[in-house]
Structure 1
Amino acid sequence: MGKINVVKRHQYADYLNVGTESAPDYVLMGAGFTAIDESPNAKSESVKYVNDVSASSSVVSYETQFSFEAEQIVDERAIAALYEVGRNHYTGSEAEFDYIRAELWNAVHDYKKTSDTSVSAGKTYFTRSGSAGAYIYTKVEEPKTADIATYYEDGAKNTYQARKFTVSAEVSKVSGENKMSLSGNLNAVGDPVLGTFNTETKTFTKGA
């Protein structure tokens, strides 16, 4: 049996848009958050046909929900935005956010021949081997200008498969003794949008 590669929690990256739809400002839901758990909550229906002994069941919808728990850290903008929803009793669109869940183990790549004529300090280069349809790109540990013509760059660095949700923030509890915390749910509104997210530029791109 080969090495078992199990996805770890830190390989999910969660971002909340604390800006607007026209001028998004995605901030990482990291420091302060002690839990963000996804529950797809699939709903199914079953039917039994007259010529069958057993019923048939199929999934017909989802009621996706992300439960969260967070310490109330003042300078964390995602936490502050969620707290404000509960504090001010926002409802409807005032309680809604765009929310990104990126999969950091599921990187997107776009390798292209470098246009550099000499090695650029700090830049990552790759070599290519294999045949069309099954190319393998390997990181060059010590780039050399003499070999620059054979190098490739990854035009999609820091880009990962992701889903974009519109969520309604439900803040159910603000409590604590020494440290205050808040908890609740991010309830999905409609269907997720599949695409990619760049963790450097904080940009979501809808899939084809």
Structure 2
Amino acid sequence: MADKKAKKVTRNLIADYLNITPTATDTDFRLMGYGFNTLNETFGAQVDKKTYVNEVTSSSTTRAYDSQFPYDYDLAVDGEGKYDTAAPEYLQEIGELHKTGSDCETDYVKVKMYKPVVEGSTRYFEARKFAVSIEPTNTNGAGGETMVATGNLNCIGDPVLGYWDSVEQTFTDGTYSETLETLTVESAVGATTGTTKITVTPALESGHSYVYKTASTVAAPALNDDCSTGYTMWNGSADITAVTGNIIRIVEVDDQYRAKKTGSATVVAKA
């Protein structure tokens, strides 16, 4: 077997998300990033040791886990986007209001951003979801210093294995099963005669590109079909020459021109 250089995993390649609306129907996972100085994982393996009558050295058995995630963050508020402070504000409120029981429980997801579930994917990554109880411990700060809060996320039961959707910011349990996703394609008159303006949602995924085909009928490709031939490249914004009433099919492909998403519309071209 040939040597393969190992890749060291740096802390920024593990993403942490906390659901700040645990009682709502829809989850609202927020990145535990900005403001967090540390967010570690303590496995807390519980070990039983026995020395049998025929032994001198004891034998060990791991019988359970008491896992927790110690954290500390610089207290900050009202941040949005890359400076989102919703997660630390949620944690802070639990301690400040002395919440207990189920009011301190939510879901926490650790994402391996270095482990895509499909080779080359920039959207779906291996992840573990934990039910946790929040244990705020301290908020400290000397004069003139930023306040620092500490605490633990304590595990309730075992982790759930699944994958993280980095676009929708959602966790799905189980093994990822890739499917050909659907694009919503709309056609309107273009800027010049014989052209149409195409809009596509959702937005193009990082590392992907568009190809298209237009005719009286255009069949959809299958997942991972090679679309390097028979289609025309499209930059996602330029008007396309097409005939009103024909079908235009847009295919989102990866860097090897394999079909990942597709959608179609009836052409409306400028007369």
1:36 to 34, 39, 58: 39
Structure 2 residue 206 is matched with structure 1 residue 203: no
Q: Distance in 1 between matches of 2:161 and 2:107?
A: 13
Aligned to 2:149: 182
Deviation string, structure 1 residues 62-93 (Cα, Å, up to 9, x no partner): 11111101111112110010000100001111
Indicate the SS of the match to 2:18.
strand
Q: Distance in 2 between matches of 1:171 and 1:98?
A: 16
Number of equivalences = 164
Alignment RMSD (CA, Å): 1.7
Q: Distance in 2 between matches of 1:28 and 1:43?
A: 30
Aligned to 1:167: 132
Structure 2 residue 19 is matched with structure 1 residue 17: yes
Q: Is the 8 A contact 1:70 1:183 kept in 2?
A: yes
Structure 2 residue 123 is matched with structure 1 residue 158: yes
Deviation string, structure 1 residues 143-173 (Cα, Å, up to 9, x no partner): xxxxxxxxxxx7x641111110111111111
When structure 1 is superposed on structure 2, of 40-49 and 64-73 the one drifting more is 40-49
Q: Return the TM-score normalized by structure 1.
A: 0.74
Q: Is the 8 A contact 1:108 1:157 kept in 2?
A: no
Runs of at least 5 residues in structure 1 that lack an aligned partner in the other structure:
110-136, 138-153
Q: Distance in 1 between matches of 2:8 and 2:67?
A: 23
Deviation at 1:97, TM superposition (A): 1.4
Runs of at least 5 residues in structure 2 that lack an aligned partner in the other structure:
79-84, 176-271
Deviation at 1:192, TM superposition (A): 0.9
Q: Is the 8 A contact 1:173 1:183 kept in 2?
A: yes
Deviation at 1:2, TM superposition (A): 4.6
Q: Distance in 1 between matches of 2:49 and 2:146?
A: 47
Give the AA of the match of 1:27: R
Identity %: 38
Structure 2 residue 59 is matched with structure 1 residue 94: no
Aligned to 1:142: none
Give the AA of the match of 1:36: L
Q: Return the TM-score normalized by structure 2.
A: 0.57
Q: Distance in 2 between matches of 1:203 and 1:4?
A: 30
Aligned to 2:117: 108
Q: Distance in 2 between matches of 1:189 and 1:93?
A: 11
Q: Is the 8 A contact 2:22 2:105 kept in 1?
A: no
Q: Distance in 2 between matches of 1:44 and 1:163?
A: 23
Deviation string, structure 1 residues 40-67 (Cα, Å, up to 9, x no partner): 0101112233333432211101111111
2:91 to 82, 90, 101: 82
The structure whose RCO (Cα within 8 Å, separation 6+) is larger is: 1
